[in-house]
Structures are given as structure tokens and as C-alpha cells.
Amino acid sequence: MPITLPFRPRRESYPPDMWTQCPGCSEMLFNKHLDKALRVCPSCGHHFRISAPTRLAQLVDPGSFRERDAGLVSRDPLGFVDGKPYPDRITGAQTATGRKDAAMWGFARFGGRRVAICALDFTFMGGSMGSVVGEKVTRAAEGALAEGVPLVVVSASGGARMQEGTLALMQLVKTVAALGALREAGLPYISVLADPTTGGVFASFAALGDVNVAEPNALIGFAGARVSAGTIAEELPPGFQRAEFLLEHGFVDRIVPRSELRDELVGLLDVLAPPAPADGGAGSVRRG
Amino acid sequence: MVDRLLGRSRDREAATPAPALPAAPRDAMWARVLLARNPRRPHTLELVAGIADRFTELHGDRLFGDDGAIVGGLARIDGRRVVVVGHQKGADTDENIRRNFGMGKPEGFRKAIRLFELADRFGIPVVTFVDTPGAYPGAEAEERGIADAIANAILVMCRIRVPVVVLITGEGGSGGALAIAAGDVVVALENAVYSVISPEGCAAILWRTSDRAPDAALAMRMSAADQLELGVVDFVVDEPGQGAHVDPAETARRLRAVIVEQLDRLAALPVDELLAARHRRYRDFGAFDDLGEPEVAEPAERGGLADRLRRALEPVGKTLGGLGARDGREGRDEPPAREEV
């Protein structure tokens, strides 16, 4: 039986599931309120990382997402062992997240318009791209091509998955080739870059949107800090590799807060995409 | 004939005299990495001089500048027209500084793109020489869009309507290598290596120290023979003696024979077939199973008013435990666990 103390406990001692400390402003945030605010800090605007299911639920027309290929699981092509065999790492991540790998794809609606959408999941092994993530991004692009609908990919990934070696590297070509076919067919592709989008994911499909949209202050870059530090002795400037840095240097079109992301995508698709069939489900635009 | 030229194909020939490598597999792998990095190993321009009848180097990306780490130009190899693109390491410290140790910057990859497009325009096959520790990971590269340049180079390589022969001659370091390594056929020299991240980078992430690089090299199976087994590389060309550096001329001669053979084979294919085969080559990469799980219901975490009311009216015990459905890990805003470069 819990003992009730006569004084207010320190904030840090609140049950972690109820409160989250904002890394931006150190404010203690009530999770219920944080969820309601799409996991964006109401006081400083810090965008918390969100899982793929949460992202999809926030982004598309309510209830419109139909997942495809949920059963894809990575093999262990290299027999990779560091501290722990790779299959054990996968199993651990599957247990922790309840999902099979670091991406979900399917069809959904944006303001009534049908799109193919893929969301990467940073909570699963850092969103790293191995065979399954590469396959899902590729199938999303192929699905968009087959149905003649736009493609949206929301990236949140540390890069290629080392544990799958060069097979992970080959996913860069596989995904890019699929986007090439989409481009040739005149179908729009919007790349959403969330925190973080780095390494091989940024250097392949995430960089190649017809429109690139980033979330505020998202870490977006090619070389990881630890890689850079190990290779090049160079002091990195503050704000380096953040969304604003990318905007300034011309590699993202827009920085859009999470609360406006959905409307933004609906608006972009309205101009870029061929006219949506008039069968359109919930036509109204919901504000997050 | 092919087998003799190529040294060995998918299955290793037992007859090939094994070079005197240390016994432990980790040391053997590391010895290969060191051979691939040997400063006396012939680099692109030296190999091209030995392979081509004539070579005219072309400079600049028409946007920013000329990157010494990536070279390219027009050549004839045994009479055949080719566009050559390759990483260029230096032979000594001075040249290495000038050439940035073969680490391409955005302008280097954009020069490569320019040359690929030129090859496409004039119907000239492409031969690339891959030998880089990786793309340059510095601040200026990020400012000029290194990821954008690499992604676009890969895209262009997938689309050009001419044969593309890729030679991994030394270090195939990650995205910086791949940017000029997406082709119809990928050939590796015996002591070349190919990896998703440098072994030092891999070790720094997995073990927090680059001292464990030999372990990382073994775990990633980065040798040419391993890559052949994985299908990432199609052919391995034996090197003379203890490695390419002991006889660069002979190395160039062996590469030339493979290039000519592959160019002729690819030139015989109709262009649409060539592109379909290239697409298939990369489409098929991946090691996964489909458990064929029935489609799951769409996430309903952010329900409407009814859901929220229901949640609010749930038994009191629930509020102490927090929101059960929420993914506990999300609350921890961890620093990025970089999985790669």
C-alpha cells in the first residue's frame, strides 16, 4: 500500500507515464495535455518524437489509414553480432514497440484525397533503414504508382541499419529507383523530415521530395556527430543540421509546425496532385 | 575464359593460392582493409592511365567548383568510348590534402551527375572507379547539401540509358561510394572492401571506441569475397601477388579485360532491357520474411470526443498508471542514436 506523504513530492518523482519533462524548456508537462497538443510543448514549441502509429493518427483523415505489409520482418543476412546478436535486438525492439520494424506504410486520405503514405518510426532501433524499411518505402512508392496517387513519406531515422551491412546500403538505391519511376509518371512525392532524419535516409528518399517539408528544429543532416567527430577535427556551429539551417541553405522548402502539417500537406497536394476522385470520405480538413 | 579473366565468380576457386594472411578471421579481414587503404595502391587516375587508350579529364560541377576528390572525363578503352568517373585519393600527404583523401564534397557528386548526364546525352557507356573512405562529413559539405547531391547522383545513375560498369577498386565507403556505384554490373578487386559505414564509425557507435574497428569490419563482412556472396558484387578480380600495389600495370590490365568484356555484353542489350535489369538488380536487395499478418486496424489513439469521454470516465486506478495505450518510449526524448553516417 502506497504511503501518502504530507508534502508535495519533487516533480521528478511523478510517475513517468504521467509527466514528461520538456528537453527544450525543462517544463514538466502533463502527458494528457501533451498528447492533446500533438506532443508539441505548449510553452516552448519543442516537437517531441512520435511513433509511426501516432504520426499517422495525427496526420491523415481520422480512421482512413489502412496498413499494408505489416508482417514484414528482417532476417539476419550477415549473422551480425556486436554485444548482442542482431535478431535479439530486433526481438527486443518488437517487444518494446509492438511493431515488426521501423516503418509502416499503407493508403490513407488527406482531406478526402487518397495517398500512399509511409512513416518511419524512430522508436524502433532509431528508425534505421534495413531491408524491411527499404522494402516498405519502395512498396509505398510502387503502390502510389499503381494507383496513380501521390506519395507522402514521413522520415525519422538515424540512417541505414549497420547490422544489415551493404544490404542496408542497397536500400538507398532501391528506394530512389522507385521514386524515379514515380517522378517519370508525374505523380507528386512529398517528403516530411521529422526529428531526426540523418545518414542514408536523408541521402536517399528523404532528400528527393518534389516538396521537402521539415518540422521545426528537427535534426537533419548527412554525417552523424559521432562520425564527424571521429573523422574530421572540426568544431560544429550551433544550429548546425537543424531544419532552419537546411531552410537557410535551400534544402527544404518549408518548416511547418506539427499543428499545421496536415493542412499544409492537403494544400500542397491540392495544387500538385491530379484531381482527387470525388468519392472522398471526410472532405473537411480537421485541425489538430 | 570468363572465369580465367575474372579470377573467380560466385564460388571461390580452391586452386587460387591464398595470400599469406594472418589466421584469425578478424585479423585477416583487417589486413584486407589495410590493403584496400594502402597509400601505394593504384588510385583512379593511375588505373585509368593503364586501362584507357586515351583519357581527357573534365573539371567542375558548373555550380560551385571542382572537387579534386572525384575525377572524371572522356576516354577510349580498347577503342570503345566511355565516360569515366572515380574517387581520387592522393599518393602522398600533399596530394591527399588537395584531394581531401578521396572524400567527395557536394560539388564532386554534382560533377559526377553532370558527367552521367553527359554520357546519357551522347550515348556513351559509363565506367566508375570506387575508392573512398566516405563522403566528406564536414560542415561545408552539409551547407552545400551533401545528402541531396548523393541522393540525386543515385537517382541519375538509375535512370541513364547507357551501360554502367562499376569497379570497386579500394575502399567502398558508404553513401559516398554508393553515389557513383549504382550500375548494371559491380566488379570488385580482390582486396577491395565495401561497407555501409566505415569500420571506425561502426565501432564508435557500437562499442564507443574506434579501436574496435577490426571487430566491426568482420561483423559487417566487408571483404570483396563477402560482398560477392551477398550479391552486392557480381565479380571479383584477383590482384597480382600480395596486392594491387605490387604491380599496378598488371592490375590495370586485368581490370581492362573485365571492363571490355562487360561493356560488350551490356552494349548488346536493348536499352529498355538494360534499364529493367538494372532496376531489378536493386529492387531485389533485401533479406526479410513476410509473416503475412492480417491487416491491423488503424491506430485509434487520438479518438474523438466519445473516446476521450470514455477514457476520462475510466476507473480511477487508470489515472495513476498513466495512459496505458501510449507508447512509453515516446516520452523519453533521447539524443539520436546514430545508426550510420
Record: contact A180-B159, CB cut-off 8 A: yes
For an interface test with A, the pick among B105, B132, B154 (most A C-beta atoms closer than 10 Å) comes out as: B154
Record: contact B139-A234, CB cut-off 8 A: yes
Residues of chain A contacting residue B323, judged by C-beta atoms under 8 Å apart: 17, 31-32, 35
Residues of chain A contacting residue B302, judged by C-beta atoms under 8 Å apart: 35, 54, 57-58, 62
On whether the CB atoms of residues B70 and B109 are closer than 8 A, the answer is: yes
Binning pLDDT at 50, 70 and 90, where does residue B15 land? very low
The least confident of A171-185, A197-211, B162-176, B303-317 is B303-317
In this prediction, residues B146-151 reach a mean pLDDT of 98
The least confident of A96-100, B13-17, B42-46 is B13-17
On whether the CB atoms of residues A148 and A114 are closer than 8 A, the answer is: no
B195 closest CB neighbour out of A165, A205, A221: A165
Residue that has been written with the C-alpha cell 509527466 in this structure? A19
Percentage of chain A modeled with pLDDT above 90: 78
Q: Where in chain B is the domain with CATH 3.90.226.10?
A: 27-283
Cβ burial of B58 (10 Å; 0-12, 13-18, 19+) is middle
Query: For B280-325, how does the pLDDT look when each residue is reduced to its tens digit (9 = 90+)?
Result: 999 999 999 999 865 545 444 455 566 556 555 554 433 333 333 3
Alpha-carbon distance A187 to nearest alpha carbon in chain B (angstroms): 16
A204 closest CB neighbour out of B137, B154, B207: B154
pLDDT higher than threshold 90 for residue A280: no
B336 closest CB neighbour out of A72, A96, A158: A158
Of B95, B37, A234, nearest in space to B29 by CA: B37
- Parallel, antiparallel, or unpaired for β A28-30 and A19-21? antiparallel
Query: For B219-264, how does the pLDDT look when each residue is reduced to its tens digit (9 = 90+)?
Result: 999 999 999 999 999 999 999 999 999 999 999 999 999 999 999 9
pLDDT higher than threshold 60 for residue B147: yes
At residue A36, the pLDDT reads 92
Record: contact A135-B220, CB cut-off 8 A: no
A198 closest CB neighbour out of B279, B299, B336: B336
Whether the CB of B150 is below 8 Å from some CB of chain A: the reply is yes
Residue of B nearest to A245 (CA): B143
How far is it, in rounded angstroms, from Cα B263 to Cα B266? 5
Binning pLDDT at 50, 70 and 90, where does residue A283 land? very low
Q: Which helix (H) or strand (E) holds B280?
A: helix B271-283
In this prediction, residues B44-52 reach a mean pLDDT of 97
CA angle, residues A116, A119, A120, in degrees to nearest 5: 145
Q: Which helix (H) or strand (E) holds A107?
A: strand A103-110
End-to-end, the C-alpha distance of chain B in Å comes to 40
On whether the CB atoms of residues B65 and B54 are closer than 8 A, the answer is: no
In this prediction, residues A122-146 reach a mean pLDDT of 97
Extract the C-alpha cell encoding A232: 574530421
Extract the C-alpha cell encoding B92: 602522398
User: How far is the CA of A268 from the CAs of A75, A119, A189, A272, B226, in angstroms?
Assistant: 38, 18, 10, 6, 45
Stated pTM of the model:
0.86
Percentage of chain B modeled with pLDDT above 90: 75
At residue B341, the pLDDT reads 39
Extract the C-alpha cell encoding A101: 520494424
Alpha-carbon distance A270 to nearest alpha carbon in chain B (angstroms): 24
Alpha-carbon distance A111 to nearest alpha carbon in chain B (angstroms): 17
Percentage of chain B modeled with pLDDT above 70: 79
Whether the CB of A41 is below 8 Å from some CB of chain B: the reply is no
Omega prior to A42 cis, within 30 of 0: no
The one-letter amino acid code at B203 reads A
Query: For A151-173, how does the pLDDT look when each residue is reduced to its tens digit (9 = 90+)?
Result: 999 999 999 999 999 999 999 99
The least confident of A80-94, A148-162, A243-257, B45-59 is A80-94
Residues of chain A contacting residue B171, judged by C-beta atoms under 8 Å apart: none
Q: For chain B, percent helix, then strand, then coil, each to nearest 5?
A: 45, 15, 40
A38: left (phi over 0), alpha (psi -120 to 50) or beta: left
Q: Which helix (H) or strand (E) holds B46?
A: helix B44-51
**Radius of gyration for chain B, computed over Cα atoms and rounded to the nearest angstrom:** 24
Question: Which of the following CATH numbers is that of domain B27-283: 3.30.1490.20, 3.90.226.10, 2.60.120.620, 1.25.60.10?
Answer: 3.90.226.10
At residue B115, the pLDDT reads 98
B:221-280 residues touching chain A, CB 8 A cutoff: 221-222, 227, 230, 232, 279
Query: For B77-121, how does the pLDDT look when each residue is reduced to its tens digit (9 = 90+)?
Result: 999 999 999 999 999 999 999 999 999 999 999 999 999 999 999
* Domains recognised in chain A with CATH numbers: 16-48 (no CATH), 49-272 (3.90.226.10)
At residue A237, the pLDDT reads 74
Record: contact B200-A170, CB cut-off 8 A: no
Alpha-carbon distance B54 to nearest alpha carbon in chain A (angstroms): 32
On whether the CB atoms of residues B244 and B103 are closer than 8 A, the answer is: no
Whether the CB of A94 is below 8 Å from some CB of chain B: the reply is no
In this prediction, residues A187-212 reach a mean pLDDT of 97
Alpha-carbon distance B300 to nearest alpha carbon in chain A (angstroms): 7
Mean pLDDT of all residues in chain A? 89
Alpha-carbon distance B191 to nearest alpha carbon in chain A (angstroms): 16
In this prediction, residues A60-88 reach a mean pLDDT of 94
